[in-house]
Amino acid sequence: MFKELQKVMNHGLDNDDYVDAIKQNVFNKATKSGVSYTAKFLRRLYDFDMSLPTFKAFKHFWHIADEREKPLLAIIYAIGNDYQLKNSIPVINNTEIGKKVTVESIESNIENLDPKKYTSNTLRSMAQNIASSWKQAGFITGKVKNIRTQPGINYLVVTFALFLSYLNGLRGDFILKSDWIKALSLDEKTIRSLAIEAGKRDLLQYQFAGNVTSITFKNLLNKIDINGFEN
């Protein structure tokens, strides 16, 4: 569904008319049912609501990101709105690079967390959709084999994950343990290194001393015009 998201975001970026873009079927679905399904799916995952600080952040990062970074921004944001996608993070992280990520392992994860809630057909469909989301972000590769891979993740992507954690109320070391950060499948040393790089580019303010971590976003909050998160 990334291509559809891309069309909506690119259409609405200048005037914030994302909902109108969806109504206009900018993703060119051939049937009303296709339009309805896509619209419902995208609005559930991405909000398209400029009154939400998280979506304002998404818009800002989408605007400054390159094409390789945008699929990563998309899955990071979606994790906050899709608990099944969020719950699949351990499946991805626990699969070694080069090994197969099976649809069955995702199905088992869903079933373990929500026993007997879904039919076998629904379970398979959900697992396939989750695998597709990770594939579009570069954590899985291959049309059939579904091999676990690790996409290139830079300071901008890490900053977005840290920022969403911050906007959702996390502070200090808790930011580094958030689901948004876990989804990147990077070790803490790498996350901290990329946070330092982001700090040099004035995307955040990072301090680590005496085992105490401070990550704040004063300048970024002002730039995006998000209020109420100064502490």
End-to-end CA distance of the chain: 36
- What residues does 209 pair with on adjacent strands? 212
What is the pTM assigned to this prediction?
Answer: 0.94
How do the pLDDT tens digits run along the chain, 231 residues long?
A: 899 999 999 998 888 999 899 988 888 888 888 888 899 999 999 999 999 999 999 999 999 999 999 999 999 999 999 999 999 999 999 999 999 999 999 999 999 999 989 999 999 999 999 999 999 999 999 888 899 999 999 999 999 999 999 999 999 999 999 999 999 999 999 999 999 999 999 999 999 988 899 999 999 999 999 988 765
Q: Which helix (H) or strand (E) holds 207?
A: strand 205-209
Q: In 88-214, which ranges are continuous DSSP H helix?
A: 89-93, 103-113, 120-136, 155-167, 173-176, 179-182, 188-200
- The Cα–Cα gap between 34 and 29 comes to 6
